[in-house]
A and B are shown apart, each in its own frame.
Chain A
Amino acid sequence: MGSETRSDRFSYALLTTPALLIYGLVIVVPVVYSLVLSFTDWAGVGIPNFIGFTNYVVMFSDPIFWWGLRNNGLVVLVSLIGQIPLGFFLAYVIHRRLVRHSGFFEAVIFFPALLSPVVVALLFGVVFAPTGLVSQIIGRAIGDPMFSLTVFNSKNTAILPYLIVLVWMYTGIYFIIFLANLQKTSPEMLEAAVLDGANEWNILKSLILPQQIPVFLTSAIYAVAGSLKSFEILWIMTNGGPSYYSNVLGLYMIQNTFSFYKYGFGSAISVVLILLSVFLILILSAIAARFTRRYEQGAH
Chain B
Amino acid sequence: MATWKAGQAQVPVLFRVAAYAVLAFFTVFTLFPLIWLTYTSFKPETEIVSNMVAFPVNWTLNNYIQAWELGEFSHLFVNSLIFCVTTTIIVVLFSISAAFAFTKIPSRMTPILFSLIIMGLLVTISSSIVPLFIAGNFLGLTNTHLGIIIPYVAFNISFAVYLAAAFVRSIPNEVIEAAKIDGAGYLRIYGLIVLPMARPIITTIAIFTFHACWVEYVLVYMMSSDATIRTVQVGLSLLKGQLSFNFGFLFAAVVISSLPLLVLYVLFRKHLQAGFSMGAVKG
Tell me the A residues contacting B by CB distance below 8 Å: 1-2, 4, 7-9, 11-12, 14-16, 18-20, 22-23, 25-31, 33-34, 37, 44, 86, 89-90, 93, 96-99, 105, 107-119, 121-127, 132-133, 136-137, 140, 168, 171, 173, 176-177, 179-181, 183, 187, 190-191, 193-194, 198-201, 203, 214-215, 218-219, 222, 225-226, 229-232, 236, 250, 253-254, 257-258, 263, 266-267, 270, 273-274, 277, 281
* B98 contacts A15, C-beta separation under 8 Å: yes
* A113 contacts B277, C-beta separation under 8 Å: no
Whether A27 contacts B127 in the complex (CB less than 8 A), given A20-B117, A200-B11, comes out as: no
Residue B170 is within 8 A (CB to CB) of chain A in the complex? no
Q: A97 contacts which chain B residues (CB < 8 A)?
A: 5-6
* B261 contacts A114, C-beta separation under 8 Å: yes
Name which residue of chain B comes closest to A105, CB basis. Answer: B23
A-B pair number, CB within 8 angstroms: 287
Pick the contact of B9: A16, A199, A225 (CB < 8 A). Answer: A199
Name which residue of chain B comes closest to A9, CB basis. Answer: B107
Interface size on B, residues (CB 8 A): 102
* A8 contacts B217, C-beta separation under 8 Å: no
Pick the contact of B131: A37, A89, A96, A180 (CB < 8 A). Answer: A37
One of B14-22, B62-70, B197-205 at the interface: B14-22
Whether A22 contacts B124 in the complex (CB less than 8 A), given A1-B106, A86-B22, comes out as: no
Sample of 21 A–B contacts (CB below 8 Å)? A7-B186, A11-B187, A16-B101, A19-B157, A22-B154, A23-B157, A27-B123, A27-B128, A117-B217, A119-B258, A123-B37, A123-B251, A177-B279, A183-B1, A187-B4, A190-B4, A201-B12, A218-B282, A225-B121, A230-B124, A267-B130
A10 to chain B, nearest CB (A): 9
Pick the contact of A110: B9, B109, B124, B273 (CB < 8 A). Answer: B273
* A98 contacts B16, C-beta separation under 8 Å: yes
CA distance A8 to B233 in the complex (A): 44
Tell me the B residues contacting A by CB distance below 8 Å: 1-6, 8-12, 15-16, 19-20, 22-23, 26-27, 29-31, 33-34, 36-37, 52-53, 93-95, 97-98, 100-102, 105-109, 113, 116-117, 120-124, 126-135, 150-151, 153-155, 157-158, 161, 173, 185-187, 190, 211, 214-215, 217-218, 222, 233, 236-237, 240, 247, 250-251, 254, 257-258, 261, 264-265, 269, 272-274, 276-282
* A23 contacts B158, C-beta separation under 8 Å: yes
Pick the contact of A199: B11, B151, B236 (CB < 8 A). Answer: B11
* A34 contacts B128, C-beta separation under 8 Å: yes
Q: B129 contacts which chain A residues (CB < 8 A)?
A: 254
CA distance A242 to B264 in the complex (A): 37
Known: A187-B4, A191-B3. 20 other contacts (CB 8 A): A11-B105, A16-B102, A20-B117, A22-B150, A26-B132, A27-B154, A30-B135, A31-B131, A93-B22, A99-B19, A112-B30, A114-B211, A116-B214, A123-B33, A132-B52, A187-B1, A200-B15, A229-B126, A263-B130, A266-B130
Q: B127 contacts which chain A residues (CB < 8 A)?
A: 229, 250, 270, 273-274
Q: A226 contacts which chain B residues (CB < 8 A)?
A: 124
Q: A7 contacts which chain B residues (CB < 8 A)?
A: 185-186
Q: B154 contacts which chain A residues (CB < 8 A)?
A: 22-23, 25-27
CA distance A114 to B139 in the complex (A): 33
CA distance A183 to B281 in the complex (A): 11
